[in-house]
Amino acid sequence: MPFPPSSCRSHSLAAICRLGAWVGVICIVGASGAQSGFELERMRLVAQQRFGAAGGDGVDAWRKALGAWRGLSEDEQLRRVNEYFNRRIRFAEDSAVWSQPDYWATPLETIARGAGDCEDFVFAKYFTLRELGIAEDRLRMTYVRATVGGPGSSVSQAHMVLSYYPAPDVVPLVLDNLIVDIRSATARPDLAPVFSFNMQGVFVGGASQASSPVDRVSRWRELLLRMRSEGYMP
C-alpha cells in the first residue's frame, strides 16, 4: 500500500541510516518496569502559558479523553488513542511548526500546537498509552523504511510508527499517522523496520531482545528533560 502524500518525507534515508548508527549509543532512560505519569494540571498551565488559550484547550480535551479511556481493554485503548491523534493532529514538517529542520516535540507541544510530524505522533501515542497503563515491553517506537509509489516501486523514505506487541515474539500491530486503522505488521509490506526503541533498550530490525541499553543519545534525553519540565514524572 503506497503512502499518502503527507508523510515524513523530509527525513532522508541518509538521516535514518545515521539514526540506525545510534544502535549502541541510543539513550534509554528509566527502569523497564517504571510507570510514567503526567501532572495534568501543571501540563495545562504550561500549555496555556506557552501556547495561549488554544494550547490549554488542547490539553483539556486530551485530559478528558484520558479519563474516558481508562478502564477500557487494551485493544480499545489502542484504537481510541490512535484515532484521537490521527484525527486531531495535523501533519506538518518540523520546519513549518518549529522553524527547525528536525525537532522532537513533547506530547504537550504536539497537543497544544495541534500539529507535528511522524515522530511527534508516535511520541504522543506512546506516552499516552503508557499513562493508561500499557506495559513498556509492549510498545516500541520504530523507525522504518517506507516504500512509496505503489507495488514494485524502489523509492523509499524514512518514517516512524508505533509498534504494539500483544505478547513477546509475536508480529506487532502498527499504529501509523498515515492511516486511521491499526494493522498487523504483516499487512504493511510497505514498511521495513530498521530499528526500534523504548525505555528498555534498542532493538535492531525485528529483534525480540534489546541489543544494548545505553545513555548517550542527546535528543531522547533532551526530550525527556523537556517533558519533566512540563509535568511528566517518569
Contact of 128 with 141, CB cutoff 8 Å: no
What 3-state DSSP class applies to 157?
Answer: strand
What 3-state DSSP class applies to 37?
Answer: coil
Contact of 20 with 194, CB cutoff 8 Å: yes
Residue 219 or 126, more confident:
126
Side-chain half-sphere exposure of 134, counting CA atoms within 13 A = 27
Contact of 222 with 200, CB cutoff 8 Å: no
Average pLDDT over all residues of the chain: 83
pLDDT in tens, 177-207: 988 899 999 999 999 998 888 888 777 766 6
d(CA 199, CA 136): 7
> Is the pLDDT reported for residue 99 higher than 60?
yes
In order of their start, the domains of the chain are 13-230 (3.10.620.30)
User: How is residue 205 annotated by DSSP?
Assistant: T
The total of other beta-carbon atoms located within 10 Å of residue 89's CB is: 21
The mean pLDDT value for 137-152 works out to 86
Contact of 131 with 36, CB cutoff 8 Å: yes
